[in-house]
Chains A and B, each alone.
Chain A
Amino acid sequence: MATTTVSQSSTTFSQSFYASLHEIAGGEKVRTCLQCGTCNGVCPYGYLMDYPPGKMVAALRAQRFERVTEADTVWMCVSCYACSEVCPVRIPLTAGLMTRAKEELLLAGNIPSELQVALENTQRYGNPLGESPRKRADWAKGVKPRVPIMSEERRPVDVLWFVGDYGSYHPRVQPVSRALANVLNALHVDFGILGAEEVSDGDSQRLAGERGLFEMLAAKNERALSQYEFKEIITGDPHAYNAFKNEYPKLGIVYPVRHYTEFLAERLDALKSLFKGEVNARVTYHDPCYLGRANDVFEAPRQLLSAIPGVELVEMPHNRTTSLCCGGGGGGMWMDGFHWEKAHTRLSEWRVREAMQVGADILAVACPYEAPRFEDATKVVPGASRLIVKDIAELLAEAMGD
């Protein structure tokens, strides 16, 4: 009897994608998925996705992964870490599965046009807003004492402040940067910024599937940083914080980094002695995904808020690890139109409604994506126009009589 040779079928897309997950820390855990569906349920846009994480795992197992990349609803993922947080077997769903899937969509050219604009802007100008790189430090004009720019200073500093894209350019966030500069100045912190030499940290672009761009940006930032001497990096941008803390080290770029709230919480006594007035308000705090869930910084922002005279800190039902995403993560910041088309609602509105429910006067934030997003939401949620959205840095500066 003649032997039939079973032809070795070449690796399928599902197989090679599955294999690629193993290159991510903890990625092999995808094997252990129980199909419990918890991730699908907790995902803020899970009900709209053709393939929320659990279902994506099922598609992968069924060797039908091409269907995932044919759908465009993977772009609803705002990389909020809610699924990763609840997965009983701790599969790295956000950093692994969802981000890898977006990388495939991006390579296949299946990307929303709004996202394309932000990515092209980042390629060309080093920031997703498409602003002139030469104007990156313009926000600091008028701050006294002057905000030192490293290339002009040419001396070691204690603290290198990585300002980030939105802190540098967004008209709603520039005042937050100025407030933080005033707080640092009042505390006599010896700091400097990179100014025009700084480019986007690239973390949100990475989570939107643009890994190559992320690596290019990281290398550019490293080229700038390596020229100067400083003891640590602080940043107001949790996305930059996440990049410096968890992603840049994988590329060999290693610096100690803290979010400004951690840095300031260490100086509570000095801060308290500078407070002149009271902020008489019920304040609730929104945990940013990339400060809270992704990096476990929950207490420092609350310590700062509680230290402000007159502040009554109240919690929203979703807080700390169960915090709700503002909708800006993972490229969401650049896909508002796309998300609106699919969902006809905004995640930021959900959050603003919660803040209203707990009777807050002020919704305090600690991420540059949030002040503009929540402020916009207060304009459309009925009765929410009295809710004030402030970054913690602004509230601190205000209490100092700024």
Chain B
Amino acid sequence: MAGTLVEKSRKRDLRFGLMLTAPSVIIILMLLGYPMGYAIFMSFHQWNDKLGADHQFIGLNNYGQLITDPAVWAAMERTAYFSVITVVGGVALAVIIAILLNRKFRGRTLARVLLLVPWAVPPVVNGIMWKLIFDGSVGIVNTILRSLGLIKENIQWLADPTAAMNILIFAETWKLLPFLCLLMLAALQGIPESIYRAAAIDGADAWNTFWRITLPNIRGPLMFALIVQSMWSLKVFDTIYVLSGGSGGPVSGTTTINFLDYITTFSNLDRGYGSAMAVGIMLLVLIVSAFWIFVFGGFSRKRREANG
């Protein structure tokens, strides 16, 4: 009797809960589910606006083209280069800066505030800023290098594909660091001070303290930072757009996979192929996220076994 009463009230609670979440679920479905579904739908069709309005169903042909397209592989290579440096380098740098900012020193509060400045700059402004700084004729970098006597002639930084890519990495890292640092700083502050004292008594040097105390205790936030930054790096767009003037150049030097998708869809108007590429990028993001979860999950399991 009592059991059924509890059961009933539980059901009522569940129904009420569903009702409360329904509006947001519906909005999310419309805003995310519809375009996503539509993209998947388009990706199975010949859907090129240059070829007219005849949208033929072609099955997996777009995906087949994706795998064999040399432009895609070139873009993937650049994406990998860009992502590995910004994700691994960015997060590592963030951990180092956060550890420094977590120490007691004069002007620490000021330093923490200054850290946030790049974050307050809108992404497009950030792009324009670095474009001006590395400008071939009026950029400050050339001026400085010339006055130091390191170069004689101005270098056209953004005209060289490799240099442009590295400048892109630099500008993006500049932009993403504050958030990662803040995340890592919050994680570090969550570690109780007393276990560092215990470690000092136990005889752990700086190296051991970092690897055996600090790092394992920020594992969760670290994984989160790596996943989030991987997503952002795979989907980088605005800085490329501004730095290359919307071309992804010079000579495709800054065309990562997401930018290639943009060019395919909106410059070449091949929306079916572009959609297939978008779906591919989505899968890529999922795979990379799963990779990080696997790495961190496996790491903790191995530790458990080692302790066992």
Partners in one complex: no
Residues on A close to B: CB < 8 A? none
